Structures are given as structure tokens and as C-alpha cells.
Amino acid sequence: MKSFVIIGHKAVSAPFSLNDLPGAGRMDILCRCVNAALFLSHDLRRDVRVYLVLKGGAQPKLVRFDGSSLRYLSPDERSAASLIKKALEKNAQGFWTESTPGVSIRKGDLSNLLEELNKKITYLREDGMDIRGKKFEEPLFLLGDHEGLTDEEEKIIRGYEHEIVSVGPLSLHADHCIVLLHNEMDRAEKHI
Amino acid sequence: MKSFVIIGHKAVSAPFSLNDLPGAGRMDILCRCVNAALFLSHDLRRDVRVYLVLKGGAQPKLVRFDGSSLRYLSPDERSAASLIKKALEKNAQGFWTESTPGVSIRKGDLSNLLEELNKKITYLREDGMDIRGKKFEEPLFLLGDHEGLTDEEEKIIRGYEHEIVSVGPLSLHADHCIVLLHNEMDRAEKHI
């Protein structure tokens, strides 16, 4: 299992218009991360879970995409957004509730999620160690949106075993980083 | 200059609804390729040109995004789609006409475009040579959409100096391939 946590600092936690994803607290960023984490050409990565942290509302919420049981996801941003919106229409509780096959929602913030997952965190930052040649076993990757991570979030992460990695010499969008992480793992698994 | 040509086999060449990009002949694929080719975090890659081949209408058309003069492009799919739609609202000629800053359109098909560019083509296919460690100078990359390339397109390409490369062991979406190509070039340029 490969897990990706993406923090949406402004991402709304109530239903939003599918015609303006940037206006929903840069929901477009999270949708592209869902695509990058889950899609192969004509197939889904079944061994992936994506956790979105929606921090842009009065009540932070968590949305989970589970590749092993996911249905109705197409590669376009609007498709991921539509599943997130359906999840947000649920009356979220303090535990996971499935909204559509493979998509679940709960109330909670980053600290609740990391407490639940309770494992080593691989955190992306430009000054991290290069991922080339690294091996990742059952990794939990954590990425920020366009705002990076706050000091408070970094403090939460430091409460767990963690490492900091970098995907290359330039600062990239979170979804592009996910593509590069997958490629490194794909190569390691196929020994090329 | 790094150039990317993406062939949209079904992509419409007339204005379309921004609310259904997959329905416009998988225009969503081309929009994600524009994003992957042009965006850095909080910046644009100014040394990139993206050429879209829209083959899904009676009159095939070519749309060009030029990073050096591009304006009004945001990372979301709908933003790229909106600029493509504006280009398609122009009365396209047999030469390039600018529709918005950095976006131009002309009538034409793949053969017209390659004739105009007239340079070595680096073509992505799963059985190609691994890109790791390769150097690319002023490359012209060519990628298919979800349908790959037709025999006729491969024949056109073979009329030019060309090489076939692969980005990894799994079959990926065209936009994910572009992210991996950029990373390899970024690393080569920074010597890491």
C-alpha cells in the first residue's frame, strides 16, 4: 500500500461549484493529485490510497480515495471534484463513511489523520534528500498544496518518525511530484 | 527551446463546452498536457512550446502555447481549455494567428506541423529506450493521447530523423510522461 496525504489549506469542506474548482480553495490542485496518484494509462493503481485534508472550512474534513475499491473516477479534474463534492454532501462523522465506492469522508484535521495512520512519514520539501535510487516500503507521502506546509504542520509531523525527500532541482506542483515518486517506485519494483 | 507535440485523435476543432472536456474528444487530456509541459510551482517554463493536434473535426487544426509570451493560463484544466476554446473561435488560416497572448492557431494536421518544425523527433513508446541519463538538446517530443499513435502517424514520423524513448516500466498518461521528461532534463541542466 502506498499512501499520499495532500493538505489543502484553503480547500472548502462544504459542497462547491464544479465550474470553479480554483474558487473552491484551489480544489483543482487536490483533484490533480488524485489523478496523479491513482491513474495508469487505461488502469488504476489499486495499491494506492489518497487522503485529502480540507482545511478551508470551519470544520476541517478528510476525504479518502482507496484505489482497491474505487469506482466512477475518470482522469479529468471535474470527475475527481464530483466525487469529492458527493463526499462533502454526506453528514460527516468522526469516523469514515463511504460516499461512493472507494471514496470516504470523516471530520478531522491532519493531526487526526496522522494519529490514525500512525506510521513513518515521508515529507516532500525542496531541501530534502534526492529520491533517486531510494527504496520506499509501504510509504506514507505527505505533500502541501501551493502554500507548502505551515510551521504548525511541520511540528505535527515531527511527532512521528519521518524523512524529508526531494524530487528534483526545481520547485514543482504537488501532482507532478506524485508522478515522479510513482516512477521511482515503479522502477524499483521492476528493477530498472 | 523544448517542444511537445500532443496528438488529440478525437479532440474537436470547433468551440466546445467547458463543462464537459472529456466529451469534447478528450480535450481534458490535452489540457493536462499543457499544464505538465508549462507549469513550475508559482512559475511558467518560458523555454517550452506545446503544440496540440486537434484531429476530431472535419478540418484538423493546430494550437500552439508558447511559454515565452503566454498569459492568462492557470494550472486548472478548465483554464487551458478556455484558451483553446478562444483559439477555436478564431477563423483559422493556413498560418499561425494569435488568439490570446502566447496562444496561436492554424489549420493543419500532424504532417503540416512536422514539416514546419522540420527537426529530429523524439517519440514516446513503451518499447523505447529508457530516458534516464539521456541528454536532450532542443528536443521535439511527440506523444499520443489515450489512443497512442496510428500506423499512418508513425509513417509520417519515420520521414524524419527520430528516436523512440520510454519513461519507465508502466504505461502512463501523456501528461505524466511529460512530467518525467522535464525532470530528466531539469536534472541534466543542474547536473544532478
CA–CA separation, A182 vs A36, rounded Å? 9
What would the mean pLDDT of A138-151 be, rounded to a whole number? 92
Confidence of residue A191 (pLDDT cuts 50, 70, 90): confident
Give the pLDDT score at B146: 82
Helix (H) or strand (E) holding A4: strand A2-8
Give the pLDDT score at B148: 83
Is the pTM here over 0.90, yes or no? Answer: yes
Whether A176 and B39 lie within 8 Å, measured CB to CB? yes
What would the mean pLDDT of A174-179 be, rounded to a whole number? 98
Give the pLDDT score at A174: 97
Give the pLDDT score at B83: 98
| Closest chain A residue to the Cα of B21, Cα to Cα | A76
Q: Where are the beta strands (DSSP E) in chain B?
A: 2-8, 39-40, 43-44, 48-54, 61-66, 97-100, 103-107, 121-130, 140-144, 162-166
Q: A133 and chain B: CB distance < 8 Å anywhere?
A: no
- Domains, chain A, in order of start with CATH, read 2-190 (3.40.1280.10)
Whether A146 and B18 lie within 8 Å, measured CB to CB? no
pLDDT over 80 (residue A192): no
Identify which of A169, A189, A190 has the shortest CB distance to residue B192. A169
What residues of chain A, 36 to 55, have a C-beta less than 8 Å from chain B? 36, 39-43
Q: Are A76 and A44 in contact (CB under 8 A)?
A: no
Residue A85 sits at φ, ψ, to 5 deg, of -60, -45
Identify which of B36, B167, B192 has the shortest CB distance to residue A176. B36
List CB contacts of A65: < 8 A, sequence separation 6 or more: A34, A37, A38, A49, A50, A52, A73, A80, A83, A102, A103
List CB contacts of B156: < 8 A, sequence separation 6 or more: B110, B111, B114
Q: Are A64 and A51 in contact (CB under 8 A)?
A: yes
Which DSSP state fits B43? E
Neighbouring CB atoms inside 10 A of B74's CB total 14
3-state SS, residue B72: coil
Give the pLDDT score at B147: 84
List CB contacts of A47: < 8 A, sequence separation 6 or more: A1, A2, A67, A68
List CB contacts of B154: < 8 A, sequence separation 6 or more: none
Low-confidence ranges of chain B (pLDDT < 50): none
Taking the CA atoms of residue B78, residue B22, residue A21 and residue B84 in that order, the dihedral angle to the nearest 10 degrees is: 0
Which DSSP state fits B148? B
pLDDT over 90 (residue A146): no
Counted across chains A and B, CB pairs separated by less than 8 A come out at: 102
- Cell of residue A114, nine digits: 496522522
pLDDT, tens only, A91-128: 999 999 999 999 999 999 999 999 999 999 999 998 99
CA–CA separation, B38 vs A27, rounded Å? 20
